[in-house]
């Protein structure tokens, strides 16, 4: 079966502690629940979650929706945001997990990347190195979400072809964001034969598109 | 799992596990002092977290003899007068997640023996059982094999408690949570495409035509991914048979999923290509070609080959190119119409009409069948000869690095200036004594049935496909019912493969 690989990169730096991370966990539950109800996503989408704070880690390897069990995402008390390390890790994972270029296996659809951050990278050098590496992975879409007022949108512009911003990091806003991620994944699962960049559905009210 | 129940737990009389919970969609609503949510370690129960001792004292002696059931029966007879035994400590563990049940309606089972063995010494365990069963799941637990099973009828999250009674008067309660996925078959919707939309097309199509001893049958079915969204079918087909010359033209096309007018692109492509080839392969053409084809069959010499290729360039490649030009023209005209109708400028290009094309020409001679194909894009076309245990894949599919990537008729890159390059890459011809069938398919059929490009060359896969078809399609009837059956077959279920499906067979 042809899979749609979806990578979610989630900022778990200290500033996400408390309500924001609770909202992320709730949002992920909603996301997975709605993907289970979409037949195309249920049959084709695979989800991986990478979190990053003082370093980056895979908290969920690429897993089909039907087998998926969400881990609970936690944050440290405080600490830096190593966004560059997260990008490096996602590139490694894509190289390992996404099936391409063979006449013997069923190739995957182009993967989708979502990155959510509430700050700016502390490893700027690494981040700048990894942006072109990410581009080489041929994501059908790279979508960045700047959560809250401290998120630095300018840094994300180099990386993402879609940027959205959230004014607040509360559960209502995150819930809207994850509902939109779900709709985007569904539309990715449906754009069969896409050779061009994926066009995402319009975001909901509290998720602002940044041009 | 540690046995850390010290004596500090609250003293309450045991509330025996209730027989059920009222709601199917149980979201661990535990009114007892509960533990922090989930975290499971595969293969163990309750993760690495220590249990929380929540209650103690059981006012009867035989808890454990019959596990949870014993407690339940004790509950029914709370004042049975059984002598009070030593207090039993009730230890509630964190939630353990069972592997998901893939879809509703199946028999689900999961072995817990290994997990139990990792938590307890075998001699420690007095008995194991389940309680707190959610409705609609039909939980069962085999006390010998320690396999938990169920048959969920609804999707959702369900919980059951595994109770383990051990020697030292402890009852360990492990809430087990199970996620049940809906059956995707029940989620797909079949919404008709707009009847009066731009470039409207029927959601399915079929055809049958007698061609002397042989027949042409075709069917085209909109994919579930389009039906779900009320989008039109992007595939199309066309055919032509000239009884005077025993010559058939077979054409299928698959409009690109991302291109907004690809349903029209595929329609223009099949109609134009079919008409062009039919027009240019009359009596005179065959009279001229026959000696070359006959000679090539005998000697396979390169002079005849070149002559045939050259003629196919003018027949097949010109027809395909004419189709591309028609599409370019349609894009321009549509742009003008759009401006006139809506008084709004909008750019349309051939890209909006992107389509694949498989164009096969087959002609019967007294020395055999001459078959030639022009192919751009994915899908597949083969000359199926099971009596020789052979299939001739009639060309090379176009594929990219990722799934779904292919080339389209409408791309400039498939039209190199060098005619020889074009012939080598896009044209195939053969002369065969006979065949069971010539089969043309779009990727909606080849993806589920062949899975990979290499398999398109596998006779086993073609045999499987033919056997599968034979179960559903009464080939020998040679009437319209064959097309009906082929169209019905085309609705076959294949997880994750829900593109438009089109197939045309000359047999």
Tell me the per-residue pLDDT of A73-125, one tens digit each, with 9 for 90 and over. 999 888 899 999 999 999 999 999 998 866 677 788 889 999 999 989 999 99
Q: How many CB atoms lie within 10 A of CB A171?
A: 17
Closest C-alpha among B456, B448, B439, B437 to residue B503 = B439
Contact A190 B225 (CB under 8 A): yes
Task: Give the burial string for B228-254 (b: 16+ CB within 10 Å, else e).
Answer: beebbbbbbbbbbbbeeebbbbbbbbb
Q: Where are the domains of chain B?
A: 20-185, 188-506
Q: How far apart are CA B180 and CA A91, in angstroms?
A: 32
List phi, psi (to 5°) of B338. -60, -45
- Whether residue B73 is predicted with pLDDT greater than 50 in this model: the reply is no
Tell me the HSE value of A201 on the side-chain side, using a 13 A CA sphere.
18
Which chain B residue lies closest to A103 (C-alpha atoms)?
Answer: B453
3-state secondary structure of B365: strand
Pairing of strands B20-21, B133-134: parallel
The domain at A4-210 falls in which architecture?
Answer: 3-Layer(aba) Sandwich (3.40)
Shortest alpha-carbon distance between residue B189 and chain A (Å): 9
Greater confidence, B127 or B216? Answer: B216
The CATH homologous superfamily for domain B188-506 is PPM-type phosphatase domain (3.60.40.10)
Q: Where are the domains of chain A?
A: 4-210
pLDDT number for residue A195: 45
Q: Interface pTM (ipTM) of the complex? A: 0.82
Please tell me if residue A110 touches chain B, with a CB cutoff of 8 Å: yes
Contact B38 A190 (CB under 8 A): no
Average pLDDT of chain B is 85
Greater confidence, B113 or A175? Answer: B113
Please tell me if residue A105 touches chain B, with a CB cutoff of 8 Å: yes
Q: Which residues pair with B56 in a beta bridge?
A: B12, B89
Q: Which residues pair with B90 in a beta bridge?
A: B55, B171
Please tell me if residue B493 touches chain A, with a CB cutoff of 8 Å: no
Shortest alpha-carbon distance between residue B229 and chain A (Å): 9
Determine the average pLDDT of the residues in A135-147: 90
Closest to B258 (Cβ–Cβ): which among A36, A66, A195? A195
For the sheet with B437-441, list strands across it: B204-211, B214-221, B501-506, B437-441, B380-385, B390-393
Closest C-alpha among A40, A21, A41 to residue A31 = A41
Chain B 166-205, CB below 8 Å of chain A: which residues? 179, 181-182, 184-185, 187-188
Q: How far apart are CA A29 and CA B28, in angstroms?
A: 15
Query: DSSP characters for B159-204?
Result: EEEEEEEETTTEEEEEEEEEEEPPPHHHH---PPPPTTSTT---SE
Please tell me if residue A191 touches chain B, with a CB cutoff of 8 Å: yes
Please calculate the CA angle B61-B67-B69 and round it to the nearest 5 degrees.
Answer: 95
H or E element that contains B59: none
Encode pLDDT of A2-45 as tens digits: 788 999 999 999 988 998 899 999 999 989 998 998 888 898 89
The rounded Cα B72 to chain-centroid distance in angstroms is 46
Please tell me if residue A43 touches chain B, with a CB cutoff of 8 Å: yes
List phi, psi (to 5°) of A178. -70, -30
Please calculate the CA angle B199-B202-B203 and round it to the nearest 5 degrees.
Answer: 115
Angstrom CA distances, A153 to A115, A120, A145, A150, stand at: 12, 8, 9, 9
Select the highest-mean-pLDDT range: B97-106, B335-344, B434-443. Answer: B434-443
Least confident of A63-72, A104-113, A187-196: A187-196
Shortest alpha-carbon distance between residue B318 and chain A (Å): 26
The domain at B20-185 falls in which architecture?
Answer: Sandwich (2.60)
Query: Residue A111 burial (CB < 10 Å; 0-12/13-18/19+)?
Result: buried
Closest to A72 (Cβ–Cβ): which among B37, B100, B256? B37
Tell me the HSE value of B117 on the side-chain side, using a 13 A CA sphere.
8
Q: Which chain B residues are within 8 Å of A110, Cβ to Cβ?
A: 402-403
Q: How far apart are CA A178 and CA A173, in angstroms?
A: 9
Encode pLDDT of B332-355 as tens digits: 999 999 998 888 888 999 999 999
Shortest alpha-carbon distance between residue A26 and chain B (Å): 13
Query: pLDDT confidence of B77, banded at 50, 70, 90?
Result: very low
Shortest alpha-carbon distance between residue B497 and chain A (Å): 7
pLDDT number for residue B485: 98
pLDDT number for residue B440: 98
Q: How far apart are CA B161 and CA B33, in angstroms?
A: 15
Please tell me if residue A37 touches chain B, with a CB cutoff of 8 Å: yes
């Amino acid at each position: 079966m042809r899979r749609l690989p979806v990578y979610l990169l989630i900022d778990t730096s200290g500033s996400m502690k408390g309500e924001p991370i609770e909202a992320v966990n709730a949002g992920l539950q909603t996301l997975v629940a709605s993907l289970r109800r979409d037949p195309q996503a249920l049959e084709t989408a695979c989800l991986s979650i990478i979190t990053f704070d003082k370093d980056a880690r895979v908290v969920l390897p690429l897993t089909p929706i039907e087998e998926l069990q969400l881990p609970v995402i936690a944050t440290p008390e405080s600490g830096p945001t190593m966004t560059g390390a997260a990008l490096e890790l996602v590139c490694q994972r894509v190289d390992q997990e996404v099936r391409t270029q063979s006449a013997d296996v069923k190739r995957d659809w182009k993967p989708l990347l979502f990155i959510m951050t509430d700050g700016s990278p502390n490893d700027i050098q690494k981040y700048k190195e990894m942006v072109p590496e990410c581009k080489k992975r041929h994501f059908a879409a790279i979508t960045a979400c700047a959560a809250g007022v401290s998120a630095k949108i300018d840094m994300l512009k180099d990386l993402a072809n879609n940027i959205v911003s959230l004014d607040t990091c509360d559960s209502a806003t995150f819930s809207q964001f994850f509902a939109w991620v779900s709709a985007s994944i569904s539309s990715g699962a449906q754009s069969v034969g896409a050779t061009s960049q994926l066009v995402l559905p319009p975001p909901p009210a509290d998720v602002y598109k940044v041009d | 799992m540690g046995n850390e129940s010290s004596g500090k737990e609250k003293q309450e009389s045991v509330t025996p596990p209730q027989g059920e919970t009222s709601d199917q969609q149980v979201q661990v609503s535990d009114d007892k002092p509960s533990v922090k949510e989930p975290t499971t370690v595969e293969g163990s129960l309750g993760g690495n977290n220590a249990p929380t001792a929540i209650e103690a004292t059981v006012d009867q002696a035989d808890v454990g003899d019959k596990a949870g059931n014993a407690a339940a029966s004790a509950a029914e007879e709370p004042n049975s007068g059984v002598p009070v035994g030593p207090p039993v400590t009730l230890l509630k563990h964190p939630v353990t997640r069972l592997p998901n049940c893939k879809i509703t309606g199946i028999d689900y089972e999961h072995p817990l023996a290994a997990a139990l063995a990792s938590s307890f010494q075998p001699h420690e365990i007095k008995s194991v059982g389940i309680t707190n069963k959610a409705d609609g799941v039909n939980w069962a637990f085999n006390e010998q094999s320690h396999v938990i099973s169920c048959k969920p009828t609804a999707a959702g999250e369900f919980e059951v408690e595994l109770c383990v009674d051990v020697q030292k008067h402890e009852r360990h309660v492990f809430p087990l949570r199970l996620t049940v996925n809906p059956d995707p078959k029940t989620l797909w919707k079949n919404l008709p495409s707009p009847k009066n939309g731009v470039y409207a097309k029927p959601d399915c199509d079929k055809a049958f035509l007698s061609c002397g001893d042989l027949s042409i049958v075709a069917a085209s079915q909109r994919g579930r991914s389009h039906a779900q969204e009320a989008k039109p079918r992007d595939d199309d087909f066309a055919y032509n048979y000239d009884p005077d010359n025993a010559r058939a033209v077979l054409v299928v096309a698959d409009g690109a999923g991302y291109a907004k007018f690809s349903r029209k692109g595929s329609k223009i492509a099949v109609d134009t290509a079919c008409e062009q080839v039919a027009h240019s392969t009359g009596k005179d053409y065959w009279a001229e070609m026959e000696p070359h084809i006959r000679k090539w069959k005998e000697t396979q010499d390169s002079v005849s080959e070149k002559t045939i290729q050259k003629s196919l360039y003018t027949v097949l490649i010109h027809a395909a190119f004419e189709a591309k030009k028609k599409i370019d023209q349609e894009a321009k005209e549509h742009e003008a119409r759009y401006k006139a109708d809506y008084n709004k400028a909008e750019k349309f290009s051939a890209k909006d009409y992107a389509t694949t094309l498989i164009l096969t020409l087959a002609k019967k001679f007294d020395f055999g069948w001459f078959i030639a194909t022009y192919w751009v894009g994915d899908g597949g076309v083969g000359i199926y000869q099971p009596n020789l245990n052979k299939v001739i894949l009639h060309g090379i599919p176009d594929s990219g690095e990722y799934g779904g990537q292919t080339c389209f008729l409408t791309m400039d890159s498939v039209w190199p200036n060098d005619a020889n390059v074009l012939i080598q890459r896009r044209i195939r011809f053969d002369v065969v004594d006979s065949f069971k069938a010539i089969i043309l398919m779009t990727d909606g059929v080849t993806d589920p049935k062949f899975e990979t490009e290499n398999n398109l060359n596998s006779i086993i896969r073609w045999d499987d496909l033919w056997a599968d078809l034979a179960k559903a399609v009464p080939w020998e009837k040679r009437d319209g019912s064959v097309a009906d059956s082929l169209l019905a077959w085309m609705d076959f279920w294949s997880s994750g493969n829900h593109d438009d499906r089109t197939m045309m067979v000359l047999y």
